[in-house]
Amino acid sequence: MMNNRRLLFPLLIVAVLILSACGPAATAIPVVTLPPAPTQPPATVAPTVPPTATPPLVLKVASTASFETFDPIASFSVEAAYLPNLYEGLLRVNPSGSAEAYTPLLASSWEKSTDGLTWTFHLRQGVKFHDGEPLTAAAVKQSIEAAKDHGGAGFIWAPVDTIETPDTSTVIFHLKFATAFELIIGSTYAAWIVSPKALDAFAADPKYWEKGVEAGTGPYMLESYTPDAEIVFTKNPDYWGGWTAGQYDKVVVSIVPEATTQQQMLEGGEADLVCACLPTESLPSFENNPNYTVVKDKSFFNYIAWFNTLRPPLDNIKVRQALSYAIPYQDIIKIAVNGLGTQSRGPVPTGVFPWSADVPQYSYNLDKAKALLKEAGHEGGGFSMQLTYTTSNPAETLFAPLIKDSFAQIGVDVTIVPLKLSEQLALGRKGADGEDMSLMLYWPTYADAGMDNLWSLFYYTKKPSWNLSYWNNPQYQTLIDQAQTTDQATAQPLYTQAMTVLVDEAPGVFFYEPMSIFVVPNTVAGFQYNINYPFTYYFYYNLHAAK
Amino acid sequence: MLLPPPWKGRRQGKTPMQKLEFILRRLLASFVVLIGVSIMTFFIARVVPSNAAELYIGPKARPEDIERVTKQLGLDKPLPVQYVIYMNELLHGDLGLSLGTKRPVLTEISGRLPATLELLFSGMLLAVLVGIPLGVLSARWQGKPIDFAVRIISIMGVSMPAFYLGLTLQIFFFRDIHLLPLAARVSGDLRFTSPIVEKTGFFLLDSLLTHNWVAFKDVFLHLLLPTITLAAYPIGLIARMTRASMLEVLEQDYIRTARAYGIRDMVITYLYALKNAIGPSLTVIGITFAYALTGTFFVEVIFNWPGLGLFTVRSLLGLDYPAIMGITLFGAVGYVLINLIVDLLQAWIDPRISLKKS
């Protein structure tokens, strides 16, 4: 027993010896020579806040998104979660069903000519960028021309011919053809109005945005950014919209990639809001808890598949229709998203222009599928197909086997091949040498699925970028051409007709739209999801602390 | 005294000149290794079937945008030219631009390094503090209950997946008993009450240096669970290694002689035996450390630790080849340096190890 006691002291000595030996090893790694990351907040001398000051009202958000770029012109990715709090466009598109279709932001009013080719925007007076520059017509013109030239989503400006600035607060757009222009102006990509000083600085130094800076007019300003860890926003005291009590002084975003961690943070009060990615199994516990409100909203996204119509027997309409009848739509929704989705009507998500309840749907009907196969001369199936899906997509991983099982029942053998998105697209672009069927989660670039989904996914081009069905239907293409070059009201019936043709000929499968789901604690008020900005889960300016 | 105490004498083995020569020779050899690594990563990254420009700009880009970015990134030049440009930039300390984050790879790595190192040092410290004594106890009391206990602990440490252990700890300490924070390096509201002034990037050290005790406590509590999770595997490994080599050493004649001389058991075990048995454990510690530099992905994901592991995995999944190359090179440098340090330590502890050409 004596020995046991005496062990303790030498143990410590050994440990200390080894540790002191490890010391130099640590400093020998070239840590010290590296320059500090430029985006780290500069070290201030006085760290202590006087204890008498009222603490700021802070909103704590946990989010998966980080900044892939700080360049608001190039932005075409997940930073869309934050940019609309820093930057503004001329207007914001309201969710369908709102009293007003648009919210004026930097434009206080606008009008269009009767032919829809000339759009005049009158700018809000007295607005300043965060860097002190005034908002002028020239700044708007410069921002949009930069986006048109090298924006990540610059293609959305294709209808614009020239931009004219008759005075400092008027911007006139001359279009090549009439279109649903407000939807472009309100885009979440490539439509931010940026301080001309910052645009000039970027032109002179291509590394300007890498420093982690912003130069918008929005209600919040970027205070600091620590990659993969934290983003801090602070309110813009000079915001043109003004401030009322209860709105947040600071917003601290923790970047949390794990959904289960987010769930625990929300439950434990470490986060006020989390992004819409909680595990669906966790929802019932929140629904039963009076301290939370679970919001289920429409979706900007949907799951589709292309049939490669260059590869027999998929060149046969009846075969494609048969396969469309052999998809277990409701089972897929149940398995992939715990029932939190709705079956799609064509490739346009509900609530996004030009969705229509008049577009038909296929139902799950194996008898019909077998009969159609027989009509097509493939009684009992007897052919095999290769199906690709995106590995990183957990829903596709879950429902691809359901398709295989169901097709097996009508005698069609499916081989499932998971691929990275870039590989999947590359294979799909090989024409007749590509795969037979390809699953895809798709969403429009901005709130116009007529310009995007209907054109991108099924309009025939010789070298496709996204129409991997190679479907070539002149009637559909004429309808789309007409609808794209007219105003929204005239376009709607044309689009509906085009989608009816599309669903009937079935060059693809239209699975389901996953619901957008938010869990909001009762301490936070003012939340409303705007599906036209699908990645911007929260507009911080609209939120305030509940009394 | 017939046996000299182990901390005296026998330091005449190597002259400083020999040591210096050894270090220089090793560094020179390492340089060749690094050149090899750079060539391999560069060309393997280009063999992967993906279009870097397309990854940079996103899948919906127009062909003319892809062309512009291809030029901008210099991808239109022949491969050997690209390699020369890359190496030239590398020698000027420029690892290129990450395709995923669009920021310099060097900035990304150096920005995340302190977080990873802080976790790593505390994890290894815990592993050594616990692992070695456990191994010694186990060997000294071979076949006794304490030996069984240690063996069970070390088997558990080695075989329990980090993500499982981490989640279990979180559920217990955060959700059930509300004792420790869930994740991240500091609490979100700390910045408004007593913000950490960054001097070294090691938050524990920074808050200590500025006498910011509120922050120190916060950082320390945040560090506990990830440290335990990270240390579990090396604790098991080190304990088993130490046990095995201790058992061997305890059988040696000189130990028996020492016992015959009536030297106290404690001195024999901890000074005479452990010193000779520590070699393999040291190697394991070194390798684990080097591996964990970029390989602590699970721990970093679960505890939302903004370190290199997270960045590594994101780059791999995104085929972000400039970042992958940067991380690989960095990892190679880490391995080389840590191995060098371990070798020097081994030679310092055991004079029989020669620093001459092997």
pLDDT computed for residue B344 by the predictor: 85
Of all residues in chain B, the one with the smallest CA distance to A64 is B304
Interface contact flag, B189 A60, Cβ < 8 Å = yes
Of all residues in chain A, the one with the smallest CA distance to B94 is A34
Query: Smallest Cα–Cα separation from A124: which of A108, A135, A147, A112?
Result: A108
Of all residues in chain A, the one with the smallest CA distance to B188 is A252
Interface contact flag, B341 A11, Cβ < 8 Å = no
Of all residues in chain A, the one with the smallest CA distance to B312 is A228
Nearest CA to CA, how far is B205 from chain A (Å)? 14
Write down the ipTM of this complex: 0.74
pLDDT computed for residue B271 by the predictor: 82
Say yes or no to pLDDT of B64 above 80: no
Say if B196 is an interface residue toward chain A (CB within 8 Å): yes
Quickly state the pLDDT bin for B304 (edges 50, 70, 90): confident
Q: Which residue has the higher pLDDT, A340 or B43?
A: A340
State the Cα–Cα distance between residues A432 and A429, nearest whole angstrom.
Answer: 9
Q: Element (H or E) spanning A435, and its range?
A: none
- Residue A110, beta-bridge partner list: A121
Preceding omega of A227 cis (within 30 degrees of 0): no
State the Cα–Cα distance between residues B193 and B276, nearest whole angstrom.
Answer: 51
Residue A487 carries which side chain, given as an amino acid letter?
A: D
pLDDT computed for residue B9 by the predictor: 47
pLDDT computed for residue B333 by the predictor: 87
State the Cα–Cα distance between residues B267 and A507, nearest whole angstrom.
Answer: 82
Q: CB–CB of A235/A248 below 8 Å?
A: yes
Quote the tokens at residue B152: 């069970």
Nearest CA to CA, how far is A219 from chain B (Å)? 20
pLDDT computed for residue A501 by the predictor: 97
Residue A101: helix, strand or coil by DSSP? coil
Q: Element (H or E) spanning B125, and its range?
A: helix B105-140
Helices (H) and strands (E) counted in chain B, each on its own, are 16, 0
Quote the tokens at residue A101: 């279709």
**What is the rounded end-to-end Cα distance, in angstroms, of chain B?**
36
Say if B8 is an interface residue toward chain A (CB within 8 Å): no
How large is the average pLDDT for residues B220-224? 94
- 547 residues of chain A, pLDDT tens digit each: 334 444 443 443 333 333 333 333 333 333 333 333 444 444 444 444 444 567 889 999 999 888 888 999 989 888 999 999 999 999 999 998 889 999 999 999 999 999 999 999 999 999 999 999 999 999 999 999 999 998 888 899 999 999 999 999 999 999 999 999 999 999 999 999 999 999 999 999 988 988 889 999 999 999 998 887 889 999 999 999 999 999 999 999 999 888 888 998 898 888 999 987 788 888 888 999 999 999 999 889 999 999 999 999 999 999 999 999 999 999 999 999 989 999 999 999 998 999 999 999 999 999 999 999 999 999 999 999 999 999 888 899 999 999 999 999 999 999 999 998 888 988 999 999 999 999 999 999 999 999 999 999 999 988 888 899 999 999 999 999 999 999 889 999 999 999 999 999 999 999 999 999 999 999 999 999 999 999 999 999 999 998 7
CB contact residues (below 8 A), chain B span 283-322, against chain A? 285-286, 289, 301-302, 304, 306-307, 310-311, 317, 319
How large is the average pLDDT for residues B265-288? 85
* Closest Cβ opposite residue B337 in set A28, A41, A267: A28
Q: CB–CB of A452/A445 below 8 Å?
A: yes
State the Cα–Cα distance between residues A386 and A396, nearest whole angstrom.
Answer: 15
Interface contact flag, A11 B201, Cβ < 8 Å = no
Q: CB–CB of A63/A537 below 8 Å?
A: yes
Query: Smallest Cα–Cα separation from A154: which of A113, A125, A122, A184?
Result: A184
Say yes or no to pLDDT of B294 above 50: yes
* Closest Cβ opposite residue A256 in set B193, B304, B342: B304
Say if A499 is an interface residue toward chain B (CB within 8 Å): no
Q: What is the mean pLDDT of chain B?
A: 84
Of all residues in chain A, the one with the smallest CA distance to B213 is A48
Q: CB–CB of B243/B138 below 8 Å?
A: yes
pLDDT computed for residue A459 by the predictor: 95
Quote the tokens at residue A155: 């293609």
How large is the average pLDDT for residues B27-55? 80
How large is the average pLDDT for residues B218-223? 93
Residues in contact with A310: Cβ distance below 8 Å, sequence separation at least 6, in sequence order: A431, A432, A434, A470
How large is the average pLDDT for residues B63-82? 82
* Closest Cβ opposite residue B341 in set A24, A35, A425: A24
Q: Which residue has the higher pLDDT, A170 or B284?
A: A170
